[in-house]
Structure 1
């Protein structure tokens, strides 16, 4: 993993905040090393991974993986709905849906997608925008097999059938039977993945991180934009990611 200096962000924080707020911002966006001139900042997807892990530990009640997704319909109007994400990596962010759904149809017609995460208890938010493309059937099946059985039943047969199946397997005799099957080496019947179920990967072009330092403090917003117009490493003051260069912008809002 590689990254370069983001000196402008550090200078902005020195000018606008107190020493305590500076330390808070540094903890959010950087790795501490010997001197201020050589502070190295994580790539934006790594920052998002760290924030997501923190939200899952500190505020699980807000369902941190649940995002407001915005797509564009045929008339060019924005459409929003709640979507749960799965994997976050240097390649992008994956999410899954019914391929015949309105959401899938809008993505197929216009791949520009935006995700917004709001973690109010932590006073943090993240906006991620980019292009979404469908995953292969093998990738979708791999994710489907990772889900617990009751989630697979929900995807395949709907909530009522999944609830009934869960109740039938949660009783005392059902648990005894399950243990006997395990002891005898019998595995549960495999649930086939529906043919109309699949996934997408969002390749980000923008990461926007927002946070509040307190009730009376201003809001800090740091935006990373993927640079496609210049060769990698040729733009000063960028964050060099594994695949693309990222340029940054930061501001303090009252």
Structure 2
């Protein structure tokens, strides 16, 4: 699969060519962002195959950003766990055996490679996840059945998106590649679980119609400033929710500050966490 850049954009984003189509006797490439959840069309002659060393250099830079963000998140989780330990034991003793159940995640993704990246991070930090690759246009028809089957605490609806100025204004939902599909999927999910704290939903991708997604029933969404979001941004938001106790409200800025995109690309509404604590914890049953 060719990795390319667009000459007219000074190769600012690395893309994968996923399809070639012909329009008016001209070859048009359909592109997926390699690190951003962006889909784009480009004339074939505007593309240049990137040098392997350049790809490696850019990938290294992004991996460094990902690791920094992940480390900040791990520090957050450590603080949450310390607070939980204090509250569970009332600060007197650390000898009480207790267990914690983080929120289960159902992650629908229109891109199988991004889905794999995301599930790898979920597993690294100990979040139970069910990943399902699903074309954006098919998500609305499948989400209800998937919710019934997996019964998640958190639902992620993402993939690729893009705003096209040629199709309409920024406020026009029809000017977006997949925002309407994401909105309809959120609505179908809310038919199953209407309460915002019984099923927490993240929805959207690069440049998605943020306001429509929130009004449809998403707790968190992209993209308030219609910018590109990183492939792993949904994971960092969801992980914070999964490890926040269900009696605690989540400050939206606390969720956004460790993402790679920040408040320009991501936003949301006040939401409760989904972590639950129980006791006693027994490694084995004795008679």
Same fold by TM (over 0.5)? no
| Structure in which a larger fraction of residues adopt strand | 1
The higher relative CO (CA closer than 8 Å, separation ≥ 6) is in 1
The TM-score, its normalising length taken from structure 1, stands at 0.28
Query: Which structure has the bigger radius of gyration?
Result: 1
